[in-house]
Structure 1
């Protein structure tokens, strides 16, 4: 994408952001003007105090994420290299990707596959990144999963996509894109990437590639939903309780469609706002790795501490209702590891190398 398009897209986003804040201030002014005046106080109490603490928390989370993305865009518009530019755009798409696409903003990411290892041949191994990330981030912190998996005889391909779009939209597009790949296919998804893979499989009726799908591997994927997104939804509802804070509900609602889909792991258009009841594909070897920050977890896995973002039970598809459990061929749990570490940890790579047997 030429720098002029980056500049145009960032400028448009800035203008629309200012307009949105103006609307928010106007709505807040109107609410306060029509309510009886109360004694001023530096801190409110009770339910109102709880609401305002929620407002401050949402402002910090949403503002912090946008600040990181927009701060990263500053050098991009100057002399930043492709790696930094792509990382910044990936973060921005995760936060506002559906809006960028709907408004025709040139910063919206188009879906495409990228070869990750020069000269690699063999069956396609498609790596699907998570929210706010891109395909280059399978290589970081000294780790290089694509190169290690290429040595097994695979051809690693990185999918770049707009992670702020609804998961079902990305799934439908991926289902079409995978038809272009010849030969056997393996899908490896981190976090949201695993949900995207399952969505594509569920929407691939009548296509050729599902018959060639050999394996599905997910790393820290919230198959049963992500509690942090549920918390965001609860805060949004809480903000509507008080007339003073009601205008802020629109700000909390600005989470992208992709983020909202993580709440219940919604994979199909018909399942928007609720959990999808989609089994794992029949006849395909399916593997899942979960991480826990605990050193020595005890009790049943359903109660284990997760990786900081995704509970162990969700990553392994272990629902309390038998009808909603996912029957993985194999599972593994890695201790003392956080969510992002699933893409760099040597123990995770060793488990993948064990499952993805060398191609002969």
Structure 2
């Protein structure tokens, strides 16, 4: 108790800075503008939230009016009542737009970020979740809360030139590891329970790990094309000769990696020839049951005049989420189609890239092989067979060899990021052949 109390007593008292106080007298973590250097909110976030609030209010009024009219149309067939209702809703919309314009004038400018400002992990996590849920809407409406695709290390974007890259990576090795997060996640969330697969592989196998940060609410194919281009630019700017590239993708991240390989092949990108390994962690290669269930529910609600207004809520979900219904990887899987329509799998098979060793890890909430929970629930989100690339129709099966498949029992979907057993399996797969043979020789 004494040590604890002494630690608390040694803390410097928190100082309040009065307006006009010079930067030299600013408190720890503050700058001359009075902003905390690490803040949960950026000025642009207020504008983004304002836009979302205005959209939500408009959508709520549309939903209420549609529901009102569907009920009134069945029981109150009086024209004046309908006209009055439409007039009142129109006035409510006008009032909401006036309020939005007033808030716009009151908020600080988008670009009023003070020097030295840094985002927090909590802010990054919230933005990632919002982007995963409605990221396509954020992009279409120009909302400042949308996440631009960037390759980052430590939450900071990688510079574009070889000299700056060499200084930022300190030093870069010829073994490049790219880690791609899943839906509603961020690159900072590879660290879970004090473990990060990327950091551990860099330490144990000599990789230089970089992390993709992207808007997971966009179509997977749109992100795949963009990732293919960014990896080509990174490969060309890498400060040392690239010996090999390996990719680890969690959940949607594995689909994004496959889409990037597809588009890199079409574009003739050089980085694809150096890709040696891809590891899929809980990747829904053939879709997620949860999205298929949501699609079915939306379709059922839309068939009844009284519940049809509530089908609007189901149509809020992002393009990235609807791509997870069957695991769409190409533009052709969704262009020209109603992505909310209830229908069968229309994908054309996308094979794994040639010459690349592909590995699949599936989580299972069951405790052993044959456990009923294993077959019914998989890792709690992704069914076991789809995570292993298996499909009832042979043309869709990825045909990953048995020796490159592995089931982590008692491991939930997110725990694939922190499980020691999962990491050891990844490390054994990616280790050079000589290192693997030495480890095998040391086993009793």
Tell me the TM-score normalised to structure 2 length.
0.68
Q: 1:304 Cα deviation (Å)?
A: 6.1
Q: How does 1:125-136 map to 2 (within 5 A)?
A: 125-136=177-188
- Return the index of the structure with the highest Cα Rg: 2
Q: 1:115 Cα deviation (Å)?
A: 2.1
- Seen in structure 2, the aligned counterparts of structure 1 residues 84 and 358 have a Cα distance that, compared at 3 Å, is farther
Distance in 2 of aligned mates of 1:105 and 1:25: 25
Q: 1:251 Cα deviation (Å)?
A: 1.1
Report the 3-state secondary structure (helix = DSSP H, G, I; strand = E; otherwise coil) of the residue aligned with 2:210.
Answer: strand
Partner of residue 314, structure 1: 386
Q: 2:191 matched to 1:191?
A: no
Q: How does 1:35-54 map to 2 (within 5 A)?
A: 35-36=74-75
Q: 1:305 Cα deviation (Å)?
A: 4.0
RMSD: 2.3
Q: 2:295 matched to 1:223?
A: no
Tell me the TM-score normalised to structure 1 length.
0.84
Point out which structure has higher relative CO (alpha carbons under 8 A, 6+ apart): 1
Report the 3-state secondary structure (helix = DSSP H, G, I; strand = E; otherwise coil) of the residue aligned with 2:75.
Answer: coil
Per-residue CA shift, 1:321-345, capped at 9, x if unaligned? 2221112241100001110001110
Q: Where does the alignment leave 5 or more consecutive residues of structure 1 unmatched?
A: 38-78
Per-residue CA shift, 1:31-69, capped at 9, x if unaligned? 0011138xxxxxxxxxxxxxxxxxxxxxxxxxxxxxxxx
Q: How does 1:101-116 map to 2 (within 5 A)?
A: 101-116=139-154
Partner of residue 120, structure 2: 82
Partner of residue 317, structure 2: 255
Equivalent of residue 191 in structure 2, options 121, 139, 160: 139
Distance in 2 of aligned mates of 1:336 and 1:146: 22
- Seen in structure 2, the aligned counterparts of structure 1 residues 222 and 261 have a Cα distance that, compared at 3 Å, is same
- Seen in structure 2, the aligned counterparts of structure 1 residues 81 and 5 have a Cα distance that, compared at 3 Å, is closer
User: How many residue pairs align between the two structures?
Assistant: 319
2:278 touches 2:356 (CA, 8 Å); kept in 1? yes
Partner of residue 157, structure 1: 210
Q: How does 1:337-352 map to 2 (within 5 A)?
A: 337-352=411-426
Distance in 2 of aligned mates of 1:32 and 1:13: 28
- Seen in structure 2, the aligned counterparts of structure 1 residues 141 and 33 have a Cα distance that, compared at 3 Å, is same
Report the 3-state secondary structure (helix = DSSP H, G, I; strand = E; otherwise coil) of the residue aligned with 2:74.
Answer: coil
Equivalent of residue 93 in structure 1, options 128, 131, 138: 131
